[in-house]
Amino acid sequence: MNVGGWGSPNDIFNFAVYYLLVPSIFIFSAGATYRIVKLLVNTKWSKVQKGHNGWGEIIKGLIMTFLRPIIFSAKVKPDDFIAGILLLHLVGVIPVLFLLGQHISWWSYYFPAYKALWIFSVPESISTSVLTVTSKVIPSSSMSFTFVNTIWGPLVVILNGDLMSLFILIAIGYKCAVRLTETVMKHNISPARYGDYIAYLLLFLIVFFGYAAARHWPSENTAVYRNVLGLHVLFAELLFMYIPFSKYWHFVFGYWYGKLHEWYDNDIKRGEMEVEL
């Protein structure tokens, strides 16, 4: 078997890692460049009578620009806050993608400086950094304490790959259920966009196959494992290519541009005038 070589793509893992990676980077880069250039080409600077804002207000404004929607949603749409912000983002995709041990290892391979984040590594399971509590494989750890010894201490009860993957899957399920119910009941608070379902489906598949691969499901056979892990990587690459053409752009650019623009617009540009009479 051609394990990890540049031969023909004899399994999904091989195809995903050695054949699709470069095209996916190319498509992502082309799409991202197109979107950023489009913004630059259409940029118009306008003059204003700027507000007279102190640094304290400006910094407070920056913090509040990011916090305000989160506080607002927690107050007025708690279900959306729990599913969309908390489960999907804060204890879901963000820590899994950037801090899960396996992912830190992956990031560090391509970007060696990323190794600095090993100290914040999140284990896959509450009881072992290697395999999951639900795995059929007996954990090989000989540690005497209950929790994996990480910087997160008892927080590892929540901050573990097992649970966070489930959070993401539950959140996606909830979001889709709400969307579908709204559409069926003809009571759409936000528009029914087909692209959203593609986005959710891709994320669901990535997490699902990542979860399955981590516990060697449905079989401990290496060939099956490579295909399941391969599907995880393959769907991640599909999503990567889809980013510049979908709502996932917010993750890379849209959210940061939007919030920083809002901050500039509200807290730097506008504000009281200085009066000297």
Count of residues in contact with another protein, rule CB under 8 A: 54
DSSP the chain: ---SSSS---SHHHHHHHTSHHHHHHHHHHHHHHHHHHHHHT------------HHHHHHHHHHHHHHHHHHHHHH-HHHIIIIIIIIIIIIIHHHHHHBHHHHHHHHHH-GGGGGGGGGPBPSSSS-SSS-TT-SSPP-----SSS---TTGGGGGTSSHHHHHHHHHHHHHHHHHHHHHHHHTT--SS---HHHHHHHHHHHHHHHHHHHHHTT-S---HHHHHHHHHHHHHHHHHHHHHGGGSTTHIIIIIHHHHHHHHHIIIIIISSPPP---
62 binds another protein (CB under 8 A): no
273 binds another protein (CB under 8 A): yes
- Calculate the CA 183 to chain-centre distance: 26
Specify the stretch interacting with another protein by CB under 8 A; choose among 35-43, 98-106, 138-146, 148-156: 35-43
60 binds another protein (CB under 8 A): no
46 binds another protein (CB under 8 A): yes
Rounded to a whole number of angstroms, the minimum distance from the CB of residue 13 to another protein is 31
Q: Which of 29, 105, 188, 222 binds another protein (CB under 8 A)?
A: 188
Rounded to a whole number of angstroms, the minimum distance from the CB of residue 121 to another protein is 28
Cβ atoms of 32 and 252 closer than 8 Å: yes
72 binds another protein (CB under 8 A): yes
238 binds another protein (CB under 8 A): no
For another protein, the closer CB: 3 or 192: 192
Specify the stretch interacting with another protein by CB under 8 A; choose among 123-131, 155-163, 204-212, 253-261: 253-261
Instruction: State the binding string over 191-230 for another protein (x if CB under 8 A, else -).
Output: x-xxxx----------------------------------
Question: Measuring CA to CA, how many Å separate 34 from each of 52, 132, 238, 248, 261?
Answer: 37, 42, 18, 15, 20
Q: Which of 6, 22, 42, 154 binds another protein (CB under 8 A)?
A: 42
For another protein, the closer CB: 106 or 245: 245
Tokens of 171: 């959140």
76 binds another protein (CB under 8 A): yes
166 binds another protein (CB under 8 A): no
Q: Which of 1, 38, 60, 78 binds another protein (CB under 8 A)?
A: 38
Query: What is the identity of the amino acid at 199?
Result: A
Contacting residues toward another protein, per CB under 8 A = 35, 38-44, 46-49, 51, 64-65, 68-69, 72-73, 76-77, 80, 84, 182, 187-191, 193-196, 245, 247, 249-250, 254-255, 257-259, 261-262, 266-267, 269-273, 275-277
